[in-house]
Amino acid sequence: MILESKNDRIFKAFTVAIILIITAACLFPFLYIVSVSFSGKNPVMRGEVFLWPVGWDFSAYRTVFNNQSLMLSMRFTILLTIVHTLICVIMTVMCAYPLSKPDLKFKAPILLLILFTMYFSGGMIPNYLNIKQLGLIDTFWVLILPGCLSTYNMILMKSFFQAMPREMEESAFVDGANDAVVLIKIILPLSKAMLATIALFYAVGRWNGFMDALLYINDGDMFTIQLRLRMIIQASQVSTLIEDIPEVKNDVIAETIKAACLVFSMIPIMIVYPWLQKYFVKGVMIGSVKG
């Protein structure tokens, strides 16, 4: 048994304290929002709500779930996130796998061009003009194609492919397999952790994104949930939302509606994350330990 020194115990205690403080800083605002969303009108107005609902009331959620524009934006954003994630993962794999090959011709200049986009951008106005000239304004694909490849995620995937033993590919080539067969039947099945991690990065990024929808979308049927949420948290939009359901008009206020909308927008990610957590932990640890 190894005895810890006094300095080690102090360091561990300090580390745990810092982690607890950071956890509390992240968790308390979330708990407060959830508590407000489930609390009654009067306790919220009196400032009695902190980390637990006071005077339980579901009127705010009745208002949210009965709003057609919110439900339309939720369904559209779920579909958008699924399609965006699939396309982005495919594009990342198709870009990373060739670049992981040591004998790829012109590998260095190609990688340099890709890395260049990671640090330099044309800017908002040139990007908008480019999107407009391509005829993508007010289309479904304007929210997918411009960001269908993340250089950072591609580098992670490329590094993972490079770390895989070359003997597996060489044995498959000896048996007559080509690059496509090796990628689909050998490489990808062994890359589930990294694929899940990259997919989660893309999905969360798309779900939380609203700036591209704000710039390129004018059709209300294609407003993402985050863009709709941005509009609703404005006082005038909240008032309109409340007026849509007269029976709860006297039971809710703007603060409870805003809190319920925030919780509503987080539900899909909160459902998906636990299923991907075990792969996510493995994926982010890849490369940290080498044999």
Q: Residue 290 pLDDT > 50, yes or no?
A: no
- Residue 218, pLDDT > 50, answer yes
pLDDT of 137 reads 92
From 134-138, 188-192, 276-280, the region with the lowest mean pLDDT = 276-280
How does residue 291 score in pLDDT terms, banded at 50, 70 and 90? very low
Mean pLDDT of the residues in the chain: 83
Average pLDDT of the segment spanning 39-51: 84
Query: The tokens of 234 are what?
Result: 């404005």
Q: What is the per-residue DSSP string for 75-121?
A: HHHHHHHHHHHHHHHHHHHHHHHHHT-TT-TTHHHHHHHHHHHHH--
The token duo for 171 is 């044995």
Let me know: does 138 contact 216? Beta carbons within 8 Å.
Answer: yes
Concatenating the DSSP letter of every residue in 204-236 gives HHHHH--HHHHHH---GGG--HHHHHHHHTSHH
Q: pLDDT tens digit string along 222-254?
A: 899 888 888 877 655 566 666 555 555 666 777
pLDDT of residue 287: 44
- Position 283 scores a pLDDT of 53
Instruction: Give pLDDT tens digits for 129-184.
Output: 999 999 999 999 999 998 889 999 999 899 888 888 888 778 888 878 888 888 88
Overall pTM > 0.85: no
Q: Percent of the chain beyond pLDDT 70?
A: 87
Tokens 């694929």 belong to residue: 195
Closest to 190 in 3D by CA, of 275, 102, 282:
282
Q: Can you give the pLDDT at residue 261?
A: 85
Angle between helices 151-163 and 192-208 (to 10 degrees): 180
Give domain 60-285's CATH architecture. Answer: Orthogonal Bundle (1.10)
Q: Is the pLDDT of residue 289 over 70?
A: no
DSSP 202: H
Residue 279: per-residue pLDDT: 64
pLDDT surpassing 70 at residue 277: no
Q: Is the pLDDT of residue 17 over 90?
A: yes
60-94: per-residue pLDDT in tens? 888 888 888 888 999 999 999 999 999 999 999 99
